[in-house]
Every structure is written in C-alpha cells, then in structure tokens.
Structure 1
C-alpha cells in the first residue's frame, strides 16, 4: 500500500520555508551561514523535534534527524538535500528535497508505519557553493572528499571565514563530520533545473546518474596603457585574449557531445576603466558532460585556446583547477526503487541523467544512491523565476517517500 503524504501540509511547509529569506520578486536569498540560513535551520530543528526525530548537528553544520527502525542491526536510509540558496534564487532548489524528507517522516507517523531500517533526514551545509567554495561542501567533508581544516578556512568575497560564520550562527556541532556507521542508501529529491521532463510531458524524473564537471580559472597578464595614444600593434590587451577564450568556451561543447555544456560565469578585469587597456583579466570555465573523457577533453581544449591567445597578444598567463567531479551512475537498487514507486503511484516518468551537481555526487562514494526529479517549468532555476507546480512537487515528493520506504523495508 503506497505511503500517502498530506498534500496541504506539504505545500504549507514549502510556503513557510520560502518566507525565510524571501525576495520581493518571489525568490529566495538564503546564502549559507547567513542570518537567513540560521533562521531556516532553527525552523528545521523545530520541525524535526515536533516529528519526534533525534537531531544531531555535526562539526560542519550538517543537520540530521533520525527515526529508529525495528531492526537494531539494520543500516539507515538517508533522505534529504539542502536549505541554502543561490543569490536571489528560487524557492524550490534544495528546499523541496528537505521538506519532502520531513513529510516522509510525518507521513510514517500519521499512518503508524514502522520500517526495519532507521530513516534519517538531512540538511547539508553549503550545497550551492555561492558564498563559500566549493559547492556540495558539507556532504564532501562528510564523505571524506574534502579536508575539514581546509574547508573551515574558506573565505567569502568579504573575507569572512567559514568556521567563524558557522560558530556565529550557532551551528558548529560537536559530532564529527563523518559517517558513524554504514548506510543502506541515500535518496535525494530535487527540481530538474532543465527542460527535459517538461519537453517530454512527464511528471517525475527517475535519475540514473549525474554529469561530471570541471571548474577552473584562467588569468591573463598584459600591460595597462592609455587607450588613446597607444597603437594597436603595441598593445598587450589581457581582455582581448580573455574574450577569445570565452568565445571558445561557448563553442567547444558543440564539438564534443550532445549533453556537453560550457560556461564562463565570472570575469574580473583590471583596472576596469574605459580609458585604460586592461592589464589583468581573470575568468572561469565550467564544463559538464556524462562522460569523464569528454570533460577532460574540454578542459584540455580550453587550456590550448588560452595558450594560443596568450601568444597572439604577447601575454603571460596561468590557470587554476578549482573543482573536478567524475560522472556518477546510480545503483540499480535505488533507481529501481524510484522507478517502482513512480509506477505504483501511476505517474508518467522517464529516466534521466542530471545535468547539475548535487550532494548525491558525494554520497555515491559511500552507499547506494538515487534521486528523483520534479518538473522545472521552462527549465528555469538559480533565479527568482524558478517554478514547479505544487502538483509536480507533490508527485516527486510522493515518489521519493515510497522509494525510501521500499529501501527501508516497511514492517507489517
């Protein structure tokens, strides 16, 4: 018998969390370790306590709530996502997965359903990576992909130190940031952040894996000079070289694969004056694809383009690899559990590869992992126009709830 979550309560809970850090245009500005992040964490802690969960907060601020199972030897099933947002982002990204996990627990309580395995829900610290880098920071430290001391020392653009901000908002816990036991599985619900479910008229996405990606930065060093008297053939213009490479970052994906994407999301030009030839320009690259070989080829190509541009403009240059993550293929056990749940609930679904990184990327390294996608209208995300209908939110939340119960083994 499918587990039914209470739709009205689920929607109300989503609306309540969206008020914490709400923007005037209906979005969300809730950066990690900000006052707004503290407020939503306090709210989430209250909700977990009300649901009877045993809460713990680890030394990196990851928040867990546990509902015990009937088998003392069974490994926990973990379900969740993140409550931090992009700058002026949407109300669904991340938060939908946390609220769905909470509603799973509430539904089990409502219907007196016991599971053999414990079920834990989680709010990961700093999935977005918008204030502090890297992204997926909390789950990365938890699984051992990142060093705790290194990430504690991360700073934002204003020089605020991660560890200091974690202490300031009161969420530097005493529990070690690492698994204290083996886990049966991890499930995560997220909005698709792309157009494929809507284009194919599907209600639910059964995620089979996550693309790999490479992030990095290139800096060109030229010579500042007057933009009027300096002849063109005398110039060492760092911005011209940067523009050439940025254009190639846009074009390289079309030569590599159907799912390859490339982006320059950050540019810093100095001295940034209308009357001075730029002498130092830093910009970023970002490539994603389901194939690790394609990702490495894209990285190699952009560095070759940078070398050629530097030679043309007579510049010095350097690069920095900022983050790389291999492509992930999810375990059949989790994919099958999600697919079966969608089928049993009679939702039109399709199997899909995630084009964005998620905490599930790291969790894949320690246990079987799966994801559910909700429809993103017009494929929009990471901005205030992000939108998923409540019906689509509910369909995805119901799917992950039933998949989790399957993995946790409902007790008659």
Structure 2
C-alpha cells in the first residue's frame, strides 16, 4: 500500500463533498454536503473490512476488532465538519490519516491484538449553529439537548430539524464506553511554529487554557475641536494604553503566553467626537494554569489602573475560563519515540494554541495529539495547505503509534 497515493486519492474524493470552486470546503453539520461525506466514509470503511456504526447524533465509527483483547480499543480520528470556506485538512486529515494508518496496519500485520477504531466526529467547529464540540460532547454524554433545542442557523433552520432530516436525533440513553484505552488525534498545526522552526512533527503536550474578557469603558463624549487634550475622558486613549502596556508585558513574559485584542467598538465612532465609550475583547491563552491566572490578574489590574488615572468607569466581564488540557504522559512518550524514529531532529514538543476534540477526550481517556506543519500558518481558509510529504510523515508517525498500542502486549 502506498500511503502517499492513497491519501491523495481519498483527500480528493472527500474534498469534493462541499468543495468550493476557489478551493477549500464548506461542509457544515447536518447539511447535504455533510450527509454525503459521512455516507461515503461509511462505504469506504466497509469496503475495507471495517465494522461500522453511527451513534444517535451522527458520530461514525469504523473498527477492526482485536484478536486477543477485543474489549480494549485504540481510537483515532477527528471531526468531519468544516468552517465556512474552510480548508481541506482541518478535521478531515485526522480522519483520513487514521483510516489509512489502520488500513495499512491491517493489510501488513493482520488483525490487531486490540481493537482499532477510526472515529469521524460529526461536529467540532460550531460554524452552522452556536454550539461547538457537539460530536465529542455527545460521545461522553456532556451535551444537553436544552442547549440546542432553540438554536437556528443563519437561514433560520432549527437545529433539531436539520438533525432529524439527516436521520439522527438526540441520544435517548447515555453512551457507555469503558473499552477505550487511548485516543490519538492527528491534526494540522494551524500555526507557523513548526514551519518557522523547520520541523515536521509536533508532539503536543497540551491544549492551552483560555480566558476571554468583554470590557466596557465609559468616559465622556465631547466635541473633538473644542475639548482640550488635558480635559478629555477619552476611552479610546485609555484602551490604547491598556492594549500597548499589556502587549508589551506579554512579549516580556514570552511564549507560550499569547494575548489578543480582537474586537474594538468605540462609541459614537465618528470622526469629530471624542469617544465616550468603548467595548473591547481580550483573549489570553497559556498552557500553564498558574501562569494564565497570574497574567489575567495583571490584565484586570492594568484596566483598573488606567481607568482610574483617566477618570473612566470600567466593567470587566470574564465570560470564558477554560483550563489547559494536558496530554497523557505515557502516550506522549510513545508519540515522541515514533517521531524520533520517523523524523529524527525534525520534531518538536509543543502546546496547541487552538481548541480540538482532544481537549474533551482528555478528561475521560488517555489522549495524545500529533501535529504536522501548516504552510504560512494558514487555516480556516480555502488556502489552507500542508506539504504532501509532511502529511505522509504524519501518517507514518500515527501508524507506528497505533502499532505500538494495538499490536504489542
């Protein structure tokens, strides 16, 4: 079996389901494009001797049952949905890579000792409906139908109507999966770290924690020509000082801390009025919980300091507070060993700055992640791409990891 040729063929096939004329894919949960993709994936699994089944909400499994330990499962996969005008690798690569790796192992070494299962999660992105990780949260009985019963997409289609039209429904009973001994997800990095450092494989040690703030500053709107600089209560000026000082501080602390001011809305937002109000967002991430907490205190202290200095009222709302999720040390060492064998001196132990299904899995089963580089760090974009040799190398590393976990006592 030629891994490179097999991947190119499968990637071209599945990229056509929701494929766009300008390249990339729009394949949203419970759409016709999504239904076609999962249906064809099921056929591909079965054609290659995999046993298949869907769960209640549309997560698809394809498995090769173990000969000696059939009740011990080694699981690998990712999500089948995309963002609007997304790339062909985010999510899809993890499913196809797992499929190819298991297919290769089964053809080369025969039936594994432990069950090998490829998982296509129905949704991760939250791009059609305002809910993320519907697939993995249902897999572990975390999703509550009350959270989506009244959810609609941009065209006014109700979540549960789209789900039922696709042949699925809310789970009536909880899933019970005590058989899973490991989950390994391979994914494109979606950043520039591996490419910049000329590395081929990322051994992920964890997924960063995130804190997100919505901040409101209120000063006084006034005439831009008649209000002297020293008499202004200018909220944009205060915001600028906050942003500058905190970005400077984040650079001083260094990686893997990241800080982003992503939304800024001054009021009244016109050319000749001193802005009397501004709303802005802050996104702060770190792999270490203590470091994240420490910097978040600095964020709040800086907002208070600058506001008081400028006679401005402030309101600080922490609306997201997600803990870092660490990968399993034993599985990390297995991935690292495979990376050393397949890409000596070309791998890097690193944190993931983006969220992934693995962060849900890591709370319940031993979990590991493998990254391959993203060209120019581009993702969630039709121009998302990875060198084919890096994609193949990632599959080879995944194949060796799955071999160690499923074929050895």
Q: TM-score range by the shorter chain?
A: 0.7 to 0.9
Please say which of residues 141-150 and 388-397 is displaced more in the overlay.
141-150
Match of 1:365 in 2: 363
Equivalent position to 2:111, from 102, 114, 128:
114
Could you tell me which residue of structure 2 aligns to residue 30 of structure 1?
A: 27
Matching of residue 92 in structure 1 with residue 89 in structure 2: yes
Are 1:256 and 1:294, in contact at CA under 8 Å, matched by a contact in 2? no
Matched pairs, number: 406
Q: How does 1:24-103 map to 2 (within 5 A)?
A: 24-71=21-68, 74-103=71-100
SS of 2:179's equivalent in the other structure is coil
Relative distance call for 1:305 and 1:132 in structure 2 (3 A) is farther
- Within 2, Cα distance between the matches of 1:390 and 1:45? 25
3-state DSSP of counterpart to 1:114: coil
The C-alpha deviation readout for 1:101-139, integer Å capped at 9, x for no partner, is: 121233244336211211111122432344445544432
Is it true that 1:405 corresponds to 2:403 in the alignment?
yes
Offset of 1:201 from its aligned partner? Answer: 2.9
Contact 2:304-2:314 within 8 A present in 1 as well: no
2:260 is matched with which residue: 263, 269, 272?
A: 263
Q: 1:316 to 1:329 in 2, by over 3 A?
A: closer
Stretches of structure 1 lacking an aligned partner (at least 5 in a row): none
The correspondence for 1:289, drawn from 282, 286, 290, is 286
The aligned counterpart of 1:331 is 328
Are residue 142 (structure 1) and residue 139 (structure 2) matched?
A: yes
Matched, 1:215 2:212: yes
* Cα distance, 1:205–1:110 mapped onto 2, change above 3 Å: same
Of 120-129 and 242-251, deviating more is 242-251
Query: CA offsets, 1:253-307, max 9 Å, x none?
Result: 2243321111233455667666777677544322121211121223333333444
1:355 equivalent in structure 2: 353
The reply to whether residue 172 of structure 1 matches residue 172 of structure 2 is no
The Cα offsets for residues 58-112 of structure 1, whole Å up to 9 and x where unpaired, read as 3443332222111355321110011222333322122110111121233244336
Alignment correspondent of 1:203: 200
The answer as to whether partners of 1:58 and 1:176 remain within 8 angstroms in 2 is no
Q: Is the 8 A contact 1:57 1:174 kept in 2?
A: no
1:11 matched to 2:13: no
Q: Cα gap change, 1:341/1:299 in structure 2, threshold over 3 Å: closer, same or farther? A: same
Q: More deviation in 288-297 or 201-210? A: 201-210
SS at match of 1:75: strand
Counterparts in 2 of 1:236 and 1:290: CA distance versus 1, 3 Å: same
TM-score using structure 1 length: 0.83
Give the superposition deviation at 1:249: 5.5
Q: Give CA deviations for 1:333-382 in whole Å, capped at 9, x if unaligned.
A: 31232233334445554232223222111211112111111122233323
Judging changes above 3 Å, is the alpha-carbon distance between structure 1 residues 199 and 275 closer, same or farther for their aligned structure 2 residues? closer
SS at match of 2:12: helix
Q: Distance in 2 between matches of 1:122 and 1:98?
A: 7
SS of the counterpart of 1:386?
coil
Give the deviation of 1:397 after TM superposition.
Answer: 1.0
Q: Tell me how far apart the structure 2 counterparts of residues 38 and 230 of structure 1 sit (CA, whole Å).
A: 62
Choose 232-241 or 61-70, whichever is displaced more: 232-241
Instruction: Look up the SS of the partner of 2:199 in the other structure.
Output: coil
| Kept after mapping to 2: 8 A contact 1:203/1:395 | yes
Structure 2 residue runs of 5 or longer lacking an equivalent are none
CA distance in 1, matches of 2:396, 2:354: 22
Contact 2:78–2:95, Cα closer than 8 Å, also in 1: yes
Residue 319 (structure 1) aligns with: 317
Q: Is the deviation greater in 387-396 or in 287-296?
A: 287-296
1:342 is matched with 339
